[in-house]
Amino acid sequence: MLRSIRRLLVAAFLPCAIACDPGSGYKTSYRAPTPADGGNSQDVGALVEWMKTTFGGIYRVHSYLVADGSCSASGTDESAQLMAQYFWVNAFEGLGATTEACLCGNTQEECRTFIAQERAGALVACLLQRTATDKVNDHAITHHWQQAGTPDGNNTCVQGGSEDVTFDRNADQIQVDHEQTLVDYPVTDGNCTDARGDAAAHGVACTHRDVLVGTWVASE
């Protein structure tokens, strides 16, 4: 859980090293993951180990497809614009079993340094952060995020909505799919909330999709 809190503090206070856009991994709000086993804490440790075995490791970026305005388009490969060409997928017990992907460096050694610093408790920046908690099948996990958005001073919550993240492992390749729907909606009782942002996005066409594909190169 401390790792989750540390990630959030870094994301909140560091400037965007990639870009402060829907694909950057910086969220307008955060809803803590629920236990991926549906709430049975006795199984969380076993699920974390399964996540590590199934998804964990260092991956070389193969492609990073980005589509703005519609999730039906295949998107443009923007991998050359990423700050790093390797990413690390790790699993840990936060508020439930959690799998996380972070850009970690341009070489395997840089990634190992990143991993060592993170495990030592350093405030490392998890760039292009993607997180999922819920097991779909023996090779995929997912998570649905809610976004409250922010009030604009004119009784409107700006850029609320929802996000969906899915990790799918196939042999030595992993695909991390991120879809986002952003909407503006009326302020209620002076507040913007995750639940209302999510409800406002229901039935609205997806507005952003990015797909990170990587090839496994090392366990760590």
Number of domains comprising the chain: 1
Contact by Cβ (8 Å): 51, 141: yes
pLDDT one-digit tens code per residue, 82-104: 999 999 999 999 878 999 999 99
**Span 150-187, pLDDT tens digits:** 999 899 999 999 999 999 999 999 999 999 999 999 99
Burial class (CB in 10 A: 0-12, 13-18, 19+), 124: buried
* Per-residue CA distances from 220 to 52, 59, 64, 114, 179 (Å): 11, 9, 22, 11, 28
pLDDT score recorded for residue 73: 66
d(CA 54, CA 91): 10
Between residues 39 and 152, the one the model is more confident about? 152
Q: How far apart are CA 158 and CA 57, in angstroms?
A: 37
- pLDDT of residue 29 exceeding 70: no
**Per-residue pLDDT reduced to its tens digit, 2-15:** 354 334 333 332 33
> Which domain range does residue 167 map to?
2-218
Residue with tokens 């039906």: 72
Helices (H), the chain: 2-13, 44-55, 108-119, 194-201
63: amino acid identity, one letter: S
- Taking the C-alpha atoms of residue 143 and residue 121, their distance in angstroms, rounded to an integer, is 26
Q: What is the dihedral of CA 37, 31, 24, 137, to 10 degrees?
A: 10
Whether residue 31 is predicted with pLDDT greater than 70 in this model: the reply is no
The Cβ of residue 33 has, within 10 Å, a number of other Cβ atoms equal to 20
State the pTM of this model.
0.79
Q: What is the mean pLDDT of residues 122-132?
A: 91
Tell me what pLDDT residue 218 has: 95
What percentage of residues in the chain have a pLDDT greater than 70? 80
The per-residue pLDDT for 72 is 74
pLDDT digits (tens, 9 = 90+) for 44-84: 999 999 999 999 999 999 999 999 887 876 789 999 999 99
pLDDT at position 25 over 90 = no
For residues 129 and 161, give the distance between their C-alpha atoms in angstroms, rounded to a whole number.
18
pLDDT reading at 38 higher than 70: no
